[in-house]
Chain A
């Protein structure tokens, strides 16, 4: 691994300006600077890049499954990692981590998105719903029930993403036909190939009226 690491050649970007310089000059921005006080401190005390990077967290306020959360996250943390590692909500799965499988699908402000390609710091003030937020107490969401009834899974790894995506697919009005469901659910890969049963589950919820 180390060998590869040392070989890494990111695309040439202008790195000549240090983070510290940037902090000093960023006052020219009328942008909201969200660099926290700790970073400024690290810069002031001439701490090395590495140490200051470790301090570099930014406050973010989110509502997750109806509960308000005040978090401190690194700008590079994805919503997926924050949900799983910081909030212990491990229902949302990491499949590829690169936007190619849909296992990490959650709802942000009611829309289905990929949490692995979402930076947590960019979700300020947003409402996030994960698979854990669907059931009302012991009462499963109709889509969860339909997946069980129709055997919409085998290993179950893709299932949280499929269910979140399926609910959104209906809400968006993209579940009118089997063909539509297949097309608009194509962002959720199932290695076990449970697709026919997933489509049946979504059709049932669609026809039975959904609860969002």
Chain B
């Protein structure tokens, strides 16, 4: 790891002005320290934001407000979260390990970089790490890679589990910059690679994530996070699905569906949601929705299995959410 300058920010304002001066924020450090050790990222200055008062989880005016520094384990075990948004708790507990969740923050989780092995290996080309160097994964080993929204510049996936639940729950990201606060719908926070894969999201360089808000909903009874990975635990998703249903007896009033491990961003499945609304909660309905969800998917040499796995994971997640298993 190269040497860097370290400072502690005592106010959000100080952190924002440090960002404007090219500093990088460190929260839990579980992603940044890893990438700095590997020389994938080499910021000259780190601003430690851990003393900012951004750790609380509160319910206010029809929404839950989760501070950017709330720990992944704290959120997963929080009584209010378990009661109102169990989907978020399930997704968090499906990610990383207990030790990492004790360090990782909500803001850091959103900002974590891809686990694409070409991004991680500084001897290989990667447009995300070094724009213009090419995408090694496109013609290389791409088993873990995206099937939706790829470009000829990048086929990496966003690795977060938490974000899959948050996009399904219509969360809002509250960020603070030099000009004040800005609220970003979760689906607009992360972006597709297009011609600028170096940009993971729409947060500006001088903006700080302050909190995430989740509006009240009617999905707490029937939701499930289903994650398929190479081992039972402590591995990134091959495919994961967050499913939430608002049931009226056996009928689906409203559905929320999002996928992880398939795109450069948590992948919301709005068309499939529409197809579920008003239908009976049966395996047949779920199959049809899964088919719609997979429209437009495009595989590469080693990840064609995701085209088959994807719909199966959607159906399993929905069955679990509906209590059919």
Contacts and interface: CB of A to CB of B under 8 A. Distances in A.
A35 B5 contact: yes
B22 A13 contact: yes
A31 B10 contact: yes
Contact of B29 (A8, A98, A117): A117
Interface stretch (B97-105, B173-181, B276-284): B97-105
Interface string B80-102: 00000000000001001111101
A112 interface: yes
A31 B14 CA distance: 6
A29 B18 contact: yes
A15 B44 contact: yes
Interface string A14-39: 11010100110110111111110000
A172 B271 CA distance: 40
A11 to B, nearest CB: 5
Interface centre among A17, A19, A29, A174 (most CB of B within 10 A): A29
A159 B187 CA distance: 43
B291 interface: no
Interface residues of A, number: 58
A134 to B, nearest CB: 17
A9 B130 contact: yes
Contacts of B1: 76
Interface stretch (B32-40, B211-219, B239-247): B32-40
Given A10-B40, A13-B41, A122-B29, A29 B99 contact: no
Interface string A41-60: 00000000000010010100
B44 A165 contact: no
Interface string A72-91: 00111010000000000000
A183 B90 CA distance: 13
Interface centre among A35, A53, A99 (most CB of B within 10 A): A99
A177 interface: no
Contacts of A188: 97
Interface of B: 1-11, 13-15, 17-18, 21-22, 24, 26, 29-30, 33-48, 50, 73, 77, 93, 96-100, 102-103, 122-123, 128-131, 133, 198, 232-234
Interface of A: 4, 7-15, 17, 19, 22-23, 25-26, 28-35, 53, 56, 58, 74-76, 78, 97-99, 102, 105, 111-114, 117-119, 121-122, 165, 168-169, 172, 174, 182-189
